[in-house]
Structure 1
Amino acid sequence: MSETTATDAAALMPDVIERLEGLVRIPSVAFPGFDAEPVHRMGEAVVELFEAAGADGVRLLEVPDGYPCVYADLPGPAGSPTVLLYAHYDVQPAPKSQGWTSEPFDPTTKDDGRIYGRGAADDKSGLVIHYATVKLLGRDRPCNVKILVEGEEETISHLEAFVESNPELFACDAAVIADIGPQAPGRPGLTTALRGDVACTVTVRTLANPVHSGMFGGAAPDAMTAMVRILDTLHDEHGDTVIDGVERGSWAGADMDEDVYRDGSSILPGVEFLGTGTLSDRIWMKPSVTVLGMDLPNTAEASNVLLPEVTAKLSMRVIPGSDAEAQLEALMSHLRAQRPWNCEVVVERVKVGNPFAVDEAHPAIVAAKDALSQAYGAPVESIGSGASIPLVASLKKVAPDAAIVLWGAEDTERSRIHASDESVDPGEIERMIVAQTLFIEEFAASTGS
């Protein structure tokens, strides 16, 4: 069975790559302020993609206050399980300031064989993996298959509320989230834990208005200096996040490969890692706070004044098993308690994304690991991810007994998702097509359908 599936997937790859390149050419950035037309065009292109795969009834569903999602419900044999395939069609912005060496929306195959372009990995690779899976399964698919493709995963998503309001549409026995990947190409990895992501803003005020830094500096505190002192309290001298009430743990799965991590993270030579403990603990089972942005003048516009007010946006990754709401409240309480020189501090909530841990004993997870092992011809690594996928929590609400299969072609080592020169290895796409097709066949068989 696996040899036939592998042969069929290999034969389909020229079509898959052509379709991936066509999708990458659509600049489907759903962030506020960007042109909405390409995002809507991308939604229509995804409908056409799955129609070309032989799926019936593919349609756009309006998501209140957001971009439409693509949906289909493809029937299988009576009594068979339901597998939901998820990906997203929106992408991160690709500003020239990131330092791209090729045009981000002109897919380019370079000497290393990888396809470069914004969204080539995250997550248009997931789209074509699902496309090929549906096509290879054909109309005699062994179980029910649902398709769910989001249009605003990279920004403020409205899909979670929509899913929770329409549970009958998204009920399933297993949900495959093809928006992640292994440590490196050729190394099969199943993600078994996701850190959550909570965010807030902190505003510091010290003056009623800007004043001359020469006349008043030295006694009157400026907001930026106060902000620096507040932010410095979030980490200790080792770089560990240190906030009362914020939980930490230890990782029990496969180790994070240090060379892969160093290459993938683009850490400069000689720059040390943050934190203490194993590398796996630091990125998968310990919290981390990041300053995402700050409202203040840039250097070209800076003048000799003390800043009266500064706002920063903070994100904190929280560990699997923790209560994301409680973790955000701990962060916000910590920030409110920091008041250098009795400055005004206002902290406001932005979002809560819950962490997640996979039940590795679930029959779908057992089948997924076996399918990966067959497709790659290698043992499967159980790995974590510091990334967050908030939809997972919503899917678990509408289908609490469903397994969540987290995999894809976005390898840690080279994909550079969200950054310049994002790329995907076509070999990973092919292997994942084989793995996903085998998984659905094996899971359907294991349930007795």
Structure 2
Amino acid sequence: MITVDAVRSAVQDSVEDIVSDLVELVALPSVSAASHDQAHVRASAEHVAGLLRAQGLRSQVLSVEGADGVQGRPAVLAHVEGPEGSPRVLLYAHHDVQPVGNPAAWHQEDPFVAERRGERLFGRGTADDGAGIVAHVHALRLLRELDGALPCSVTVFVEGEEEVGSPTFREFLDAHRELLASDVIVVADSLNWKVGVPALTTSLRGLVQVDVRLDVLDHALHSGGYGGPVLDAVTSMCRLVATLHDEQGDVAVPGLVARPEAAPGFPEYPDSQFRADAGVLDGVDLIGTGDLTARLWTKPALTVIGMDVTPLELAGNVLAPSCTARLSMRVAPGQDPDEALEALTAHLESRAPFGARLSVGATETGPAFDGSASTPAARAAAWALATAFGTEPVEIGQGGSIPFIATLQEAFPEAQVLVTGVEDPDSRAHGEDESMHLGDLEKVVLAEALLLARLGGAVEAS
């Protein structure tokens, strides 16, 4: 048996090593988007495999072919056998990252050179999901050093294509099902309530993403010579997009699931705190009806995330013949994403302005996740988080989507799935100036080590 104090002391002594490993991960520009050099993703996978191999795990870099025949990006699969009869635990993270966005918007010269400013480490991948990787690596290292071995059988799966929708995730599960099958699955890729307050995520919205195209002419026309009887495609698209929300800002697509009240156990989220967390400008109203947490976690949301429009420097006095917009819709738990896609498509088709020719193509769909904070593993996680952070964890939902979690739940229905937080509201994952709060990183490592020890019966709850 080991003590909580022994684990806490070991984590405190390891803080600089933990931060150093995170800095090294940031230095690997493992952007999985196809427009970037995939050699960096391979290098990142090899690096993570080495970190896990150093902790005594059998570690491999693997990929599988997807349903479309395209080879997936490299993932890391590592395993160590625990005592006979001990629980099987799967630890998930991902080593790929988002593109940097606008380099000029970062407050550092190179987003892939981590910078420590105050209590935070800045750089692409610090929070999403470098922190999850180092939490797994160092929790395993500390338990081995303190007790000579791990208290349970552990498989670590570090994916390399999460940021592009996990296209070969299902095929990877099928190919390595025996090794991945687990009693408890820990996904270190979510958000804490705020700095110093941990959270367990028990609800995630699903995702439907489509490209919508409108065609009104077979070629561009002089806007003065022909404008008036014909509405250009860009303005037509604006009119179509405007039908997606009602006057209060709620999504106006018939047939979508919506839960307007916060789920029992979810915390209150004051408007003022949300405005501060999100950086909403003074005078800009919040939209939608119902509880704020419901608007974030259990009601649909719909956003235009891209549109093909002539840039200002190339603009001429012409009527655009066509326009394409990319719509990202988050769907509530309990909503089948295929049904949501049908509902969105039907809405768009029925509202094409002035007979414009419309085509809709799905680019991505992903299921929502409905979990529980009352399973034995969740109670063990709540104890570990409370012990590490010094305050009780909050049960939350997430407005973002992690579709593979529902896939894991479907593939291993007997497993207890835990979605734990590494980020905080100011981590700015996917955006410029992404960062990780280092005080919380220390607590995350401690919490995971305590959780594994508790699951394996190697520590007693105080």
TM-score normalised per structure 2: 0.93
Contact kept? 2:202, 2:395, Cα under 8 Å: yes
Distance 1:203 1:181 in 2: 35
- Report the equivalent of 2:58: 57
1:84–1:259 Cα change, 3 Å: farther
**Residue 142 of structure 1: aligned partner:** 151
Q: Is the 8 A contact 2:251 2:302 kept in 1?
A: yes
1:259 Cα deviation from its structure 2 partner: 4.3
Partner of 1:69 in structure 2?
75
Q: What's the counterpart of residue 438 of structure 2?
A: 426
Secondary structure (helix, strand or coil) at the match of 2:128 reads coil
Out of 100, 105, 124, which is 2:106 matched to? 100
Structure 1: how far apart are the matches of 2:335 and 2:4? 39
Whole-angstrom distance in 2 between the partners of 1:444 and 1:358: 22
Match in the other structure for 1:438? 450
Q: 1:237 aligns with which of 223, 243, 247?
A: 247
- Corresponding residue of 1:251: 262
SS of residue in 1 equivalent to 2:253: coil
Within 2, Cα distance between the matches of 1:323 and 1:37?
36
Q: Secondary structure at the match of 2:312?
A: coil
SS at match of 2:456: helix
Q: What is the aligned counterpart of 2:303 among 277, 290, 300?
A: 290
Q: Give the Cα–Cα distance (whole angstroms) in 1 for the partners of residues 273 and 423 of structure 2.
A: 13
> C-alpha displacement at 1:160, in angstroms?
1.9
SS of the residue corresponding to residue 248 of structure 2 reads coil
Contact 2:28 2:44 in 1 (8 A): yes
How far apart are 1:132 and its partner, in Å? 0.6
Q: Does 1:185 align with 2:195?
A: yes
3-state SS of 1:73 partner: strand
The separation in 2 between residues aligned to 1:122 and 1:183, in whole angstroms, is: 16
Distance 2:238 2:101 in 1: 28
Task: Tell me how many residue pairs correspond in the alignment.
Answer: 445
Residue of structure 2 in register with 1:358 after alignment: 371
> 1:90 maps to what in 2?
96
What are the within-5 Å matches in structure 2 for residues 293-332 of structure 1? 293-332=306-345
Query: Whole-Å Cα distance in 1 between the matches of residues 273 and 59 of structure 2?
Result: 39
- Report the Cα distance in structure 2 between the residues aligned to 1:417 and 1:406, rounded to whole angstroms: 17
Taking the TM superposition and a 5 Å limit, the aligned residue runs for 1:129-208 are 129-138=135-144, 140-166=149-175, 167-208=177-218
Q: After the TM superposition, which parts of structure 1 deviate over 6 Å for at least 4 consecutive aligned residues?
A: none
The CA distance in 1 between the partners of 2:64 and 2:316, in whole Å, is 45
2:84 match: secondary structure: coil
- Determine helix, strand or coil for the equivalent of 1:420: coil
Read off the aligned partner of 1:134 and give its amino acid letter.
L
Give the alignment's TM-score, normalised by structure 1. Answer: 0.96
Secondary structure of 2:162's counterpart equals: coil
**Unpaired stretches in structure 2, ≥5 consecutive residues:** 66-70
CA contact (8 A) 1:159 1:391 kept: no
| Post-superposition offset of 1:98 | 6.0
Letter in 1 for 2:310: P
For 1:66, give the aligned amino acid: G
Check the 8 A contact 1:160/1:390 in 2, yes or no.
no
- Most deviating of 214-223 and 250-259: 250-259
Structure 1 alignment gaps of length 5 or more: none
* CA distance in 1: counterparts of 2:171 and 2:273, whole angstroms: 37
Aligned-partner Cα distance in 1 for 2:179–2:404:
14
Alignment of 1:261-300 (within 5 A): 261-300=274-313
What corresponds to 2:17 in structure 1?
15
Q: Assess, with a 3 A threshold, how the Cα gap between structure 1 residues 159 and 363 changes in structure 2: closer, same or farther.
A: farther
CA drift of 1:215 comes to 0.3
Q: Corresponding residue for 1:32?
A: 34
CA RMSD of aligned residues (A): 1.7
Could you tell me how far apart the structure 1 residues matched to 2:89 and 2:125 are? 24
User: CA separation in 1, counterparts of 2:58 and 2:269?
Assistant: 42
Is the 8 Å Cα contact of residues 88 and 152 (structure 2) preserved in structure 1? yes
Cross-structure match for 2:68: none
Q: What amino acid is aligned across from residue 123 of structure 1 in structure 2?
A: D
